[in-house]
């Protein structure tokens, strides 16, 4: 599975990377990412996840070939 992160998440992870572990939903993906960097927990808890340009929730079933985009909250004008 390919992962793309943006904004403040780049302080915790490479902008693009792959994970080989099987994860079935966003909760499992968050847990995996926390094993890679436990300092990212606070920001991951408020991020949105997308697959193929559409936002997903935890009910969405991820597969190993998905590209997941993780977008932290933003502010500004």
pLDDT confidence bin for 76, thresholds 50/70/90 = low
Which CATH homologous superfamily contains domain 2-71?
A: Beta-grasp domain (3.10.20.30)
Q: Which helix (H) or strand (E) holds 26?
A: helix 26-36
At 22-75, the pLDDT tens digits run 999 999 999 999 999 999 999 999 999 999 979 999 999 999 999 999 999 876
Burial of 18 from C-beta contacts in 10 A (0-12 / 13-18 / 19+)? exposed
Who's near 22: CB < 8 A, 6+ residues apart? 64
Domain boundaries, the chain: 2-71
At 3-17, the pLDDT tens digits run 999 999 999 999 999
Tell me, yes or no, if the pTM score tops 0.85.
yes
Contact 41, 34 (CB under 8 A): yes
């Amino acid at each position: 599975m390919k992962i793309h992160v943006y904004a403040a998440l780049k302080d915790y992870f490479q902008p693009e990377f792959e994970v080989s572990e099987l994860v079935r939903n966003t909760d499992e993906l968050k847990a995996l990412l926390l094993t890679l960097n436990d300092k990212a927990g606070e920001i991951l808890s408020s991020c949105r996840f997308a697959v193929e340009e559409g936002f997903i929730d935890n009910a969405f079933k991820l597969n190993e070939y998905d590209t997941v985009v993780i977008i932290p909250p933003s502010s500004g004008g």
